[in-house]
Every structure is written in C-alpha cells, then in structure tokens.
Amino acid sequence: MKKSGTEYLGFTLIELLVVIAIIALLLAIVMPSLKAAREVSKRLFCMSSIRMLTTAWNSYATENDGKLAEAKTADVVEVSSNPPRYNWSFTAVNPRPTWTGIWRGSVDNKNALEGAIQLGTFYPYNETLKIYRCTNHETYARGSVQPEMAKRIRSYAIVDSMNGFYLKDNDGSVAGGVPFKKTPELTNTSKQIVFIDEGRETSEGWTIYPDRQQWWDLPPIQHGHGGIISCADNHAEYWKWQEEHTIEYVEYNYFQKGSAINAAQAALNNSDFNRLQMGIWGNRRGN
C-alpha cells in the first residue's frame, strides 16, 4: 500500500495478487488437515456407537444364559397408521425377534425405520437411535448405485458367525462356517468380531466365506478406505485396508469406478480378506 502525503492509496495489483497467493497457499496447507480432523472425529463417533451396540449385545447374552442374539433381521410390518405402530412379521427363516428388525417398505417412512429398531432385542439396553447409524452413512450411500440407502437409519451389521446365517444352507459346498450360538463357545473375545460398520442397512448379517478366498458381502470403505469393527470383549478398532484390490472391488461394485474385478480375484492372496475371515470365523473357517 503506497502513501501519498497524508493519504493512503489502495493496494496495487501486484500487492493484491501476492495477498491472494498467500491466502491460497495457507488454505492449501490448512484444508487437508481440517478434512483429516473431521474424518477422525467421525471415526471416533462411529467407534463409540459400535461399542455401545456391542455392550447391548453382551448384556443380552448375559441376561439370556449366554445365548447370542439373533444376528439376522426379521421383517416388520405396519399394524396401525394412526398412531403409527409396527410389529414383527416372522418367517421360517427368521421365526423370532432379532437384534433389530428391517422395514422393506418406503424408505421415506421414518416412523417405520425407527420402529424396526425399537422392536429389536437390543433397544431396551440403549434407547438411543443415533448409535445405529454411522456419521458417514449418507455420503457413502449417495455415491453408490443404491441412493435410497441414504435415507435408512442403520449402518451396522452383526457378522454371521455370531448366531447368524449358516452359509451352508445357501451353498452346500461351504465347509466350516458354523455360527457360534452361546458365549462359552467364544474362546478369544479380544479377536472375535461381532459388529462391522457396513455403511448401509441390509438384511441378514454381514458375511464372508469361511473356507475360500472369495468375498461374499462387500467390505466397507467409507472411513478413509477402511472399516470399523468391534470385538466380543467390547472394544472397537479401525482397520485401514492395505490391498488395492479391496478398494477396487468395492469402488467398482458400489460406484462403478475402474475396471471389473470379481469376488474371487479381489480376495486372492488379499491380507485384508484374510484378516477379516480370521476375525469372523477363526478356527471355524474350514479351510
């Protein structure tokens, strides 16, 4: 800024460009740090939520003679519209109350989505609806080929090894993979996975083949190309995936990015897959 007598003149063009350049440089330095800090904050909230759900899982088992909660998700139906009320719709596959229900109707029916959770066997242990939804859920779902998932309010799933779906019922060639039914069967609770942040709401539990290198469900990548899990001893962990094939497989199947890669190709010699398979099935892998 130049001075003329007692009067101050405005910035010259060069001075203004220098100031703008300095501001742009500072923003370039600060913004990635702010973005990273925001993601860490979301990750910590997600880890807190998944721990609270695991606490409910353990409380249920304690009060039911060690029996693990049903990891599958039974359907719920509307029984009254005014006031809105919902109840279970049991089937031969899901004949009893599960840890949470699932509403298969309009995703715009928030009362039904909430009702499905409130009917679940875990809700009496923690009546906080927001712990069922990851903070990155909406962003993850809106980018996928299933944008309606963004309106759903549950992001977490129990893995099928914890009293969930027996894969052999669907594929007779599967070896091992027999789900745990009671807590005394769990011999390494600090390593045995219970919940996984799936990033969206799906039916049943989260599944991985026990006896071969082949994905069944897609691994979650919404937390900095990583996923959040909890173990039977109530602790939660963030696992950042190490293999390019893990990311490529999810991005192609969710977002239609990159080249096609099938479930077996993506899992072959994949340390991320092996880590999840071991954490979920342990000595019940059957391979």
Per-residue pLDDT of the chain (287 residues; tens, 9 = 90+): 444 455 555 667 787 788 888 888 877 776 776 677 788 888 999 999 999 999 999 999 999 999 999 999 999 999 998 999 999 999 888 889 999 999 999 999 999 999 999 999 999 999 999 999 998 998 888 887 778 888 999 999 999 999 999 988 888 899 999 999 999 999 999 999 999 999 989 888 999 999 999 999 999 999 989 999 999 999 999 999 999 999 999 999 988 889 999 999 999 999 999 999 999 999 999 86
Of 70, 122, 113, the C-alpha closest to 93 is 70
Per the structure block, which two tokens stand in for 273?
């897959």
Give me the DSSP letters along the chain.
--EETTEE----HHHHHHHHHHHHHHHHHHHHHHHHHHHHHHHHHHHHHHHHHHHHHHHHHHHTTTBPPP-S--EEEEEEETTEEEEEE--SSS-S--SS-B--S-TT-HHHHHHHHHTSTTGGG---GGGGS-TTHHHHHHTSS-GGGGG----EEEBTTBT---GGGT-TT--S-PPB-BGGG-S-TTT-EEEEE-SS--SS-B---SSSS--SSPPP-TTTSEEEEEETTS-EEEEE---HHHHHHHHHHHH--SS---HHHHHTT-HHHHHHHHHHHGGG---
| Backbone CA torsion sign across 280, 236, 65, 100 | negative
Q: How far apart are CA 200 and CA 132, in angstroms?
A: 10
| Backbone CA torsion sign across 186, 200, 123, 89 | negative
Per the structure block, which two tokens stand in for 252?
């192609």
Q: How far apart are CA 225 and CA 250, in angstroms?
A: 10
Of 277, 225, 282, 283, the C-alpha closest to 251 is 225
pLDDT of the residue at 34: 66
pLDDT of the residue at 255: 86
CA distances (Å), origin 213, targets 204, 218, 262, 278, 287? 21, 13, 11, 11, 10
pLDDT of the residue at 121: 97
pLDDT of the residue at 8: 52
pLDDT of the residue at 210: 96
pLDDT tens for residues 175-197? 999 999 999 999 999 999 999 99
pLDDT tens for residues 141-159? 888 777 888 899 999 999 9
